[in-house]
Structure 1
Amino acid sequence: MKDISIFGYGVTTKPIIEFLAKQGQKCVVFDDKFSGQSYDDFGNLLLPSSAFESQKSKLEILSPGIPPYHQLILKAKNIISEYDYFYSLFDEDFSPLTVWISGTNGKTTTTEMLTLLLGSHGAKSGGNIGVPLAELFVNRATLWVLESSSFSMHYTQKAHPKLYLLLPVREDHISWHGSFQAYISDKLKPLKLMESESFAIIPKEFSQTQEVKNYKGKIVLYEDSKSLALELGIQIGDIHFTEPFLLDSILALYASKLLFGETDIKTLNTFKVGKHRIEEFEDFKSRLWVDDSKGTNVDATLEAIKRYSNKKIFLILGGDDKGTDQSPIFELIRSLDVEVFAIGSNQEKLFILSKNYGVKVHRCADLKNAVCTIKKVLKMGDVALLSPAASSLDQFSSYKQRGELFKQYALEKNKGL
């Protein structure tokens, strides 16, 4: 196909561009970061977003993070998601089994757990993590376990999984979707596309939605870890994880049971939780620090706080909160021994909330200042917790960089600290 446009030049689209090049297909790439005309290593034209002309494009494959109100999306006539593009290439010779995992928190952990459980069946993880879809397709991976964002599903119109696993949904990405209801609708959208021979694991709170009522396949509705374990017929005590990872692990086991009739708890218990998600470490004075930089929304931060509610918590909050309501955090910590260290673009919002709820707060502006301030007062038995309830992109390149710098600052042997 000629006249292919690529929207965005990043982690998602670069493998697609390479894939197209190997098929002998040129494309034109548009991105906000381009200020003028240039070319990539494959000879593809790179242009600023403002240069896009819809009449010169027959197909637009996009990076899912581009919001629906962006000028590229408003101009485009033939948008296709990464999922739809590769789904269109499936045929009778190659049509892999696909699992999509979504939700507000726990997507990565659940995806990695299920990939581990289904390793003997050829499972490979992709989507937001793991192997790019282009590579999964080229390597003919037979089982795709895809961490799937609401962004990807918003733009997907045809592709659908064999099994869709939805973790709890909480307020997030409001500025992108426009409303919490729109966010929920995109999370439930796969149910409208799936076939009768499919499976879905969905929070019970959505049981009365039209998407769930009209779903054609076999559905499991769950409330919490305890009820899910009971239905699955397993003992929670046999699983080595506690919340929030306990729910992730039981959901992964349930998905494995639906697909292959297996509940391999022994293999599950070998899983190691990834970095920047409630990752504990000690400084040279043996004081406890916790890197939860991946806690980019309110619900994740609530779970992290609950985990340490029996300790005095020095809590670093702040960043780009994407317009979400932060008050549930303060509803929880007003009755706990918590001090807030506010950073990032929503610092003033957090300061006002702290004052309104009678929570002690420190204006720190940036992460290094917050860590240095905490070092002066942190004692054995306390916990210094980075769980920002916000995106990192106002001050960092990623949540990973934020977490790595947090650990670096915490472990520095500053004089007197």
Structure 2
Amino acid sequence: MNGQSKKTALVVGLAKSGLAAAEALVDRAVQVIATDLQTGPLMQDKAAKLRSMGVQVVLGEHPLSLLDQADYIVVSPGVPDTAPLMIEAKQRKLPILSEPELAYRFYPGPYLAVTGSNGKTTTTTWVGEALAAGQIPAVVAGNIGRPLTEAVSHLEPGSWVVAEMSSFQLDYTEQFHPQVCTVLNLSQDHLDRHGSFAAYMAAKARIFARQEPDDILILNADDKYSAELAATAGSKLIYFSRRQILNEGAWVEDDHIVLGWEGERTKICRTYEVGIPGAHNLENALATVCLARAAGVTPAAIARTLKSFAGVEHRCEKVAVLNEVLYVNDSKGTNPDASVKALEAFAEPTVLIAGGRDKGTNLDDLVLAIKRRCRAVILIGEATPKFRRVLTSSGFTAVLEAEGLPEAVKLAHDLACPGDIVLLSPACASFDMFSSYEHRGQVFKRAVEELGGDRA
């Protein structure tokens, strides 16, 4: 911990990662203070547990006086920079660490880190399965759901940490150094938090900021922002592409996924053998090929994983078939670009359920995709007025509104024709109506189950 074990840590935010960070610090004999604005029963239970471990816990407010006792801060990703406590901490020049940064100081790696606007969870999970298929010791954690500080505790030295990293987590990394990492793609997201696309992109670029010349950065040759990212990198660059034939990396050629690595070309599998559909998932597969190979997985083990992978929950997840209509849960589609990719993954006419908490993103590309693919759109949540205004001004008038997600599912059931898709892909955050995108996806699946039908 670089001498920090004798200092006092202030943990701000006690959601999953904040709680794990506090517990990990206590395990390492660090004096811990913890604070969260929530006061509900679940938070009270967390507070009671931490107090039993000797942690000073303050709920319902973030008193600035807590900074008087703190030597450094561990901040949860849900705490914005605009919080008065964060503003004051910066004015006092107190060190601020993200939970992944703290985990890195506990366990130095090797790390394989994944970020990007879309495809992070799918790719991180896929890489984890590839390492398991290759019998390479690894743990999968980070923004995917398991806190990194928890995952690295008692980890065997030399084990890989496959980490999904959000822009919020990367914001407060200083020493974090992955030996292998990727920025899968970039599109407008979280502009409500970062303030500009340039700031969002800068946060993503922190994933490779500490890489050295022998480390590997994997980029998407088809993404228009990759050249800008590459210009600031100091590590070895390897690309993947589904549109170009490359000399090194992973690409599509004659309907095969091809790997070029250390002077050798290997056909991994045919594109139609990839376990999950969609052009975006083909890109995720190509990234997985590069990442897994960089971590030492053999091409044969990678091929097995590409073919057997069934996808992740809440990302183009096939839920049920009812009256020849397929219901698909893409609650993880929390920005317009993700929803465009979900729409393009299916050729059938679609009834789209969208909306939630707006992130300040541009909807032009989503509107074009809706006009190409959708029979109708059903809107929910805070973003309904904006979405309706943008859609109707474009000439798309098959727009309905629902009070909540269960009502939206019933409306979609009434509108869909045999052979159609009913797709939940909100293009928005979930926090206006749900505790998380996972919660939103579960509500969707329960509403579909209540309609009857067969599991997909």
Q: Establish whether TM, by shorter chain, passes 0.5.
A: yes
Q: Is 2:163 the counterpart of 1:146? A: yes
Which residues in structure 2 correspond to 1:249-328 (within 5 Å)? 249-260=285-296, 262-263=298-299, 264-308=302-346, 310-328=347-365
Which residues in structure 2 correspond to 1:115-134 (within 5 Å)? 115-119=128-132, 120-129=135-144, 131-134=146-149
Of stretches 293-302 and 335-344 in structure 1, the one that deviates more from structure 2 is: 335-344
Structure 1 residues 272 and 139, CA, compared in 2 at 3 Å: closer, same or farther? farther
Q: Is 2:88 the counterpart of 1:52? A: no
Deviation, structure 1 residue 108 = 0.8
Q: Is the 8 A contact 1:283 1:410 kept in 2?
A: no
What is the match of residue 347 of structure 1?
A: 384
Q: Is 2:190 the counterpart of 1:190? A: no
Deviation, structure 1 residue 187 = 0.9
Structure 2 residue corresponding to 1:229, chosen from 226, 229, 251: 251
Deviation, structure 1 residue 236 = 3.7
Deviation, structure 1 residue 366 = 1.7
Quick one: which amino acid aligns to residue 137 of structure 1?
V
Which residues in structure 2 correspond to 1:17-416 (within 5 Å)? 17-34=22-39, 40-47=51-58, 48-53=60-65, 54-76=67-89, 77-90=94-107, 95-119=108-132, 120-129=135-144, 131-141=146-156, 142-204=159-221, 205-209=224-228, 211-224=229-242, 227=245, 228-230=250-252, 232=259, 233-234=266-267, 235-237=269-271, 238-243=273-278, 244-260=280-296, 262-263=298-299, 264-308=302-346, 310-359=347-396, 360-413=398-451
Quick one: which amino acid aligns to residue 60 of structure 1?
I
What is the match of residue 12 of structure 1?
A: 17
CA distance in 2, matches of 1:336, 1:358: 14
Quick one: which amino acid aligns to residue 242 of structure 1?
P
Quick one: which amino acid aligns to residue 307 of structure 1?
A
Of stretches 221-230 and 106-115 in structure 1, the one that deviates more from structure 2 is: 221-230
Deviation, structure 1 residue 284 = 4.6
Q: Is the 8 A contact 2:358 2:383 kept in 1?
A: yes
Structure 1 residues 393 and 185, CA, compared in 2 at 3 Å: closer, same or farther? same
Alignment gaps of 5+ in structure 2: 1-5, 253-257, 260-265
Identity %: 27
Q: Is the 8 A contact 2:334 2:427 kept in 1?
A: yes
TM-score by length of 2: 0.84
Of stretches 224-233 and 151-160 in structure 1, the one that deviates more from structure 2 is: 224-233
Q: Is the 8 A contact 1:229 1:236 kept in 2?
A: no
Alignment gaps of 5+ in structure 1: none
CA distance in 2, matches of 1:288, 1:406: 13
Count, aligned residues: 408
Structure 1 residues 49 and 166, CA, compared in 2 at 3 Å: closer, same or farther? same
Deviation, structure 1 residue 34 = 4.2
Deviation, structure 1 residue 393 = 0.9
TM-score by length of 1: 0.91
CA distance in 2, matches of 1:158, 1:139: 21
Quick one: which amino acid aligns to residue 124 of structure 2?
T
Deviation, structure 1 residue 145 = 0.3
| RMSD (Å) for aligned C-alpha atoms | 2.3
Deviation, structure 1 residue 13 = 1.4
Of stretches 376-385 and 346-355 in structure 1, the one that deviates more from structure 2 is: 376-385
